[in-house]
Amino acid sequence: MEHIVIIGNGISGITAARHIRKLSDKKITVISAESDYFFSRTALMYVYMGHMKFEHTQPYENWFWKKNGIVLRKGFVKTIETKTKTLHFAEGDTLHYDKLVIATGSKSNKFGWKGQDLKGVQGLYSKQDLEQLEIYAPNNTTCNRAVIVGGGLIGIELAEMLTTRNIPVTFLVREDSFWNIVLPKGESEMLNRHIKNHHIDLRLSSNLREITSDENGHAKSIIIEETGEEIPCDFVGLTAGVSPNIDIVKQSDIETDKGVLVNCFLETNIKDVYAIGDCAQQRQTIGNRKPIEAIWYTGRMMGEVVAQTICGHKMAYNPGHWFNSAKFFDIEYQTYGWVFPKPMKGHRHFHWKHEDDTKCITIEYDIINNTFLGINTFGIRMKHETFDKWLNEKRNLNYVIAHLSEANFDPELFQHFEKNIQLTYKKQLQTV
């Protein structure tokens, strides 16, 4: 029986395992050094915040794996020997595979800052990171102040987490407005205000110069590059993005760049070795997508696809329209299609913001033929299916604005804003 070995039990690896099982009777082994069972990485924040226990982040009960013939193996793979198709574990033993799927995920970026390896300095990605966080920032007596470096999704989540334990947070953001490398101005600025409303000391256009140490090798303060200001703190969160976690792959014959290089079938340069999820880097980019997509959804989709290929139905990774979501403190964010921080050439933005400063939408459209290209929605839930359909049908902006209520996914009895949005749209047309 063919033995499929998957390194990594995150969403990519587990999705692949589940779908291979659905399609075949192959022997499946999933290896992880991080946790005994699959858990939802994106839910780690809720464990620290006390919304859930760690067990709640595990989407399948523990009996599920045995029942479905998926062998879970806890261990750390040290080297991959592709010639003999053998994995060598740090624990000393080996495992033979017939096909290998690398799904090792990401690790937090560290850009060579002085003091980046001190105690109390860490990213937030793994279960171990969460355990470290409980040691260095369990409450506001152990941690009088925390500094977060890097204004992205993980940074703002970490800020929210620390706030729930009443730990004062200073948030260093390199850009002049929060996440404006992704979000248009109106949205980004609304989030700046929302962050400040949650009593976060938000420092825009601020880079980290260094982290200073106390006599025990513990972080003592940080110094801001631009101003030279020193901020005393007990915890430093490094959340300036993630990059593929591929140290073990780099020493093998498998070709890597930033990530493990794969073709459109998610195959590496070595036969029978595949890479999926955060750690995979596409040799050829797909549409507007980046070659490395460290996103939950893309990890899952790659798992779905690679399972088909492994089970004899060779299939290219060809994702549909872009979508994503996040939550910034109390504001939910969804996006469908492409909205760029500044409209692409030949495109324009339509922006609407509610007066309560927690809801807004931005639509990117083509100036010439008015085609709808994508939407960002904050504080209003919208339907994935509807926008997927409209993008397929290449609907124009007028149509989308007129039919916006069909896309509404807010709970029943909620206030609707479509009329308000339509009114704003009309007014803008008149002034343009």
How far apart, in whole angstroms, are the C-alpha atoms of residue 418 and residue 432? Answer: 21
**305 near other proteins, judged by CB under 8 A:** yes
**92 near other proteins, judged by CB under 8 A:** no
The values of phi and psi at residue 89, to 5°, are -90, 155
- Closest Cα to residue 159, out of 213, 190, 203, 115? 203
Q: Which is nearer to other proteins, 221 or 358 (CB)?
A: 358
Q: Which is nearer to other proteins, 21 or 209 (CB)?
A: 21
**308 near other proteins, judged by CB under 8 A:** yes
Per-residue binding string, other proteins, 60-89, x by CB under 8 A, is -x----------------------------
**58 near other proteins, judged by CB under 8 A:** yes
The values of phi and psi at residue 277, to 5°, are 80, -155
How far apart, in whole angstroms, are the C-alpha atoms of residue 172 and residue 37? Answer: 34
Amino acid residing at 430: Q
Contact 246, 256 (CB under 8 A): yes
**304 near other proteins, judged by CB under 8 A:** yes
How many residues bind other proteins (CB under 8 A)? The answer is 67
Per-residue binding string, other proteins, 106-145, x by CB under 8 A, is ------------------------xx--xx--xx-xx---
End-to-end CA distance of the chain: 67
Selected from 411, 430, 431, 432, the binder of other proteins by CB under 8 A is: 411
Judged by CB under 8 A, the stretch of 43-51, 106-114, 201-209, 241-249 that binds other proteins is: 43-51
In the complex, least distance from residue 138 CB atom to other proteins, rounded to whole angstroms: 5
Burial label for 413, CB within 10 Å (0-12, 13-18, 19+), is exposed
Selected from 100, 382, 391, 421, the binder of other proteins by CB under 8 A is: 382
How far apart, in whole angstroms, are the C-alpha atoms of residue 393 and residue 396? Answer: 9
- Closest Cα to residue 247, out of 262, 258, 232, 235? 258
**385 near other proteins, judged by CB under 8 A:** yes
- DSSP letters spanning 345-387: TTEEEEEEE-TTSS-EEEEEEETTT-BEEEEEEESS-B-HHHH
Site for other proteins in 191-230 (CB under 8 A): 197-198
Residues that bind other proteins (CB under 8 A): 11, 19, 22, 40, 42-43, 46-47, 49-54, 56-59, 61, 130-131, 134-135, 138-139, 141-142, 164-166, 197-198, 296-297, 300-301, 304-305, 308, 315-321, 323, 325-327, 329-330, 332, 334, 381-385, 388, 409-415
